[in-house]
A and B are shown apart, each in its own frame.
Chain A
Amino acid sequence: MSEFRLTRRYHFSAGHRLASPALSPEDNARIYGPCYRQHGHNYQVEVTVGGEVDPLTGMSVDLGIVDAAVQRVLLDRVDHYDLSATVADLDGVVTTGENLARVFWTWLEPALPPGRLRRVAVVETDNNDFEYRGDAERARGPR
């Protein structure tokens, strides 16, 4: 049998700034530049799940279940919030795209059918996107 990978794209809008509590204001401003200022993005999140096809339904993962899980554990938590101030589950996280992708993975993994999550990508702007494939991912060519 062979695996299919299904990717669904979602949107949310949120404010954030990049600032590390371990750094002085001067160092934060120097390292993060314009990202140190309070600002926000229309984020896109791509969630990729994988699995074999059920011969009866022709589906590998029910997108309705994926949509509901993403809405509940991710979008409801971040949409129109300030990621750097008003999301308790992001306390202590510098909200770079890398960290968001990793944290979103830990939120989504237990909410989705077991063993199906393959990839979380945070698209911050058209120019920047950040992918996380979990600790078990082995590179096998471009995906």
Chain B
Amino acid sequence: MATVYATRKFTFSAGHRYWRQEWSAEDNRRVFGHLTTSHGHNYVLDVTVRGTIDPVTGMVMDLGELKRLVGDAVIARFDHADLNRDAAFAGGVIPTTENLVRTIWELLQPKLGGERLHRLRLWEDPTFYVEYFGS
């Protein structure tokens, strides 16, 4: 059977800053620049699932189910959140777009299954996104 890919778009807004506690203020500013100041983004998350077409429903996946899963696991957690205070970014993990997309992958992958989740594309703003396909 042919594999088909379906992508659904989600949005959430969150705040963050880049800062390493064990570094001096000068070192933080040198490496992270203006990202050391608290700021925020309207993130856009494209979730791509893959699979064969169910002959009965004609669908790869019920996108309503996908909306519920992502809504519960990701949007409810991160929308209007301070990412630096989230447990995923405790212990010195900087809430970069890379680390955030990996965190979201680890939240969704157990719910969707490794074979179904194909790609996450996380847009920080309209000029920049990070893609992750798992390890």
Contacts and interface: CB of A to CB of B under 8 A. Distances in A.
Partners in one complex: yes
Interface of A: 1-10, 53, 56-60, 63-64, 141-143
B18 A141 contact: no
B134 interface: yes
A142 B118 CA distance: 9
Contacts of B97: 6
Nearest to B22: A56
A58 B39 CA distance: 17
Given A4-B98, A141-B5, A141-B118, A58 B129 contact: no
Given A53-B98, A53-B99, A58 B132 contact: no
Contacts of B61: none
Contact of B20 (A6, A10, A56): A56
Contact of B131 (A1, A4, A56, A64): A4
Contact of B96 (A5, A8, A59): A59
Nearest to A10: B127
Report whether over half of chain A's contact residues are helix, strand or loop; otherwise say mixed.
loop
Interface residues of B, number: 30
B134 A2 contact: yes
A143 to B, nearest CB: 7
Contacts of A60: 98
B130 A6 contact: yes
A8 B33 contact: no
Given A6-B130, A53-B99, A57-B32, 17 more contacts: A2-B102, A2-B133, A2-B134, A4-B101, A6-B128, A6-B131, A7-B129, A7-B130, A8-B128, A9-B126, A9-B127, A53-B102, A57-B94, A58-B99, A63-B128, A141-B50, A141-B118
A58 B93 contact: yes
Interface of B: 3, 5, 18, 20, 31-33, 48, 50, 93-99, 101-102, 118-119, 126-135
Contact of A4 (B3, B31, B32, B132): B132
A10 B127 CA distance: 7
14 contacts: A2-B102, A2-B133, A2-B135, A3-B133, A4-B101, A4-B130, A6-B98, A8-B128, A9-B126, A9-B127, A57-B32, A58-B93, A141-B3, A141-B50
Nearest to B118: A141
Given A2-B135, A4-B132, A143-B131, A58 B95 contact: yes
